[in-house]
Amino acid sequence: MAENTKLVEEITSRDVDFAQWYTDIVRKAELADYSSVRGCMIVRPYGYAVWENIQNELDRRFKETGHENVYMPLLIPESLLDKEKEHVEGFAPEVAWVTHGGSEKLAERLCIRPTSETVFCDHYKNIIHSYRDLPKLYNQWCSVMRWEKTTRPFLRTAEFLWQEGHTMHATAQEAEEETLQMLNIYADFAREYLAIPVIKGKKTDKEKFAGALATYTMEAMMHDGKALQSATSHYFGDGFAKAFGVEFTDRDNLLKTPHETSWGMSTRIIGAIIMVHGDDNGLILPPMIAPVQLMIVPIMMHKEGVFEKAQELLKRASSICRAKADFSDKTPGWKFSECEMKGIPLRLEIGPKDIEQDRCVLVRRDTREKYFVALSDLETEIPKILALIQQSMYDAAKESLDCRIYDASSEDELKELAASKPGFYRALWCGSEDCENALKESAGITSRCLPFEGHLPKGKCVCCQKDADKTVYWGKAY
């Protein structure tokens, strides 16, 4: 059975070299490939199908909450980017500049959008005049570009796909509610669809988005104990609106400035799916997001009736889930390995013996458990097992997250944890950026968020020992 194990042999073990394991999965599961442009990836059909499933469900949730999709220009004139001071300082160093159209030099350079607050505000200025025009709840699906130095597929690429919501509201309160609503939509989606538990919280001023008053985040825990910021939602107050001259006449006939939010989730989340769920045999996809939920593998296909039975089962399975059958001339062992590498949640094996006994074998990808199932029960058993996989993948990820949260009460303890126990370190913080910088210097960790839940009792700052009432999750992050 050399063939059977060949695919598997080619993956580096998670515990030997996590970074290499990650890259191996991206390539071997055919999620993405490198391109001729530094830092830009090719999202291959299997990876893109995962992204489409993410898009469909998120888009449904956005529309259900009243959001509309639009498409804004890819290019932003330098003068527009310059309008909000903090924003341009944050993004100008990492944008790609267009300087020529055909053979002509442009009068003003244009950058490829790194994010679109500026163009949305520029448009909102033209279409918002009255309280009747509010709220404006727009979203767009597009690619953005940030000229990163070191890149890794999905996790950090010069170009990536995402959605960016940009909304305008009559009051600060409404905008703040929107900001939190969208964070909750992301977190619910991560839990229910991606089987990924997250810590929700607020970013410190040091870590917040360039130009935002508040940035909310959800942080997920990867298998190697590093955090991954998986989605963010920003509250801008009226800063951008003022910079761009967006105003409206309110019900009381006074001219006011609207309040703004923005929020986004990107293809980065596919990196999280890989690093939360994958194992040494490859990717493991939660059923809710898997392009193929069930793969049928016929055994001894040359024997009479096997091919026909597999086709019949494919037809039945297709009416209850996203099913495929592998009728290629590869060996069953090879096909099993491919199913595992691609993280297909459930595999159905059917051979002459099974047919004789009117049953088949179902094999779970996550636990490798086998079930012998009567063919007459397929319609009830497949959905039941898929739901079971989804739930137990979440439970396993939750357990893995929980057992990687450590409390620390001194800087030394934090440093020791950071050096020996990868994970989240919960500790009190006084609120000073100096302490944040000091901990980055001494322990190599950053503040991930001020969590909404799970606060420590008041005490002393883990760094400066002054009075502190802010609980922070610290950690190393992607």
Q: Report the DSSP beta bridge partners of residue 164.
A: 140, 264
Smallest separation, CB 21 to a second copy (Å): 22
Question: What Rg do the C-alpha atoms of the chain give, in angstroms?
Answer: 25
Please, what's the b/e burial string for 198-213 (b: 16 or more CB within 10 A of its CB; e: otherwise)? bbbbbbbeebbbbbbb
Strand 259-266 relative to strand 227-237, pairing: antiparallel
Smallest separation, CB 269 to a second copy (Å): 15
Give the residue with the Cβ less far from a second copy, 271 or 451: 271
Distance CA 299, CA 310 (A): 9
Burial class of residue 362 (count of CB atoms within 10 Å of its CB; 0-12, 13-18, 19+): buried
Smallest separation, CB 107 to a second copy (Å): 10
CA-based end-to-end distance of the chain = 38
Distance CA 364, CA 203 (A): 38
Smallest separation, CB 205 to a second copy (Å): 24
E-strand stretches of 351-435: 359-364, 370-374, 405-407, 424-429
Task: Read off the tokens for 230.
Answer: 């998986």
Strand 359-364 relative to strand 214-221, pairing: unpaired
SS3 263: strand
CB 355 within 8 A of CB 306: yes
Q: Report the DSSP beta bridge partners of residue 75.
A: 112
Give the residue with the Cβ less far from a second copy, 51 or 336: 51
Give the residue with the Cβ less far from a second copy, 273 or 378: 273
Smallest separation, CB 436 to a second copy (Å): 25
Give the residue with the Cβ less far from a second copy, 146 or 448: 146
Give the residue with the Cβ less far from a second copy, 86 or 94: 94
Give the residue with the Cβ less far from a second copy, 61 or 460: 61
Strand 159-169 relative to strand 136-145, pairing: antiparallel
Smallest separation, CB 52 to a second copy (Å): 7
CB atoms within 10 A of CB 40: 15
Give the residue with the Cβ less far from a second copy, 49 or 430: 49
Give the residue with the Cβ less far from a second copy, 92 or 464: 92
Q: Residue 175 carries which DSSP code?
A: H
Smallest separation, CB 162 to a second copy (Å): 12
Q: Which residues bind a second copy (CB under 8 A)?
A: 33, 35-37, 40-45, 48-49, 51-52, 68-77, 80, 92-103, 109-110, 112, 119, 122-123, 126-127, 138, 142-143, 145, 147, 158-159, 161
Smallest separation, CB 71 to a second copy (Å): 4
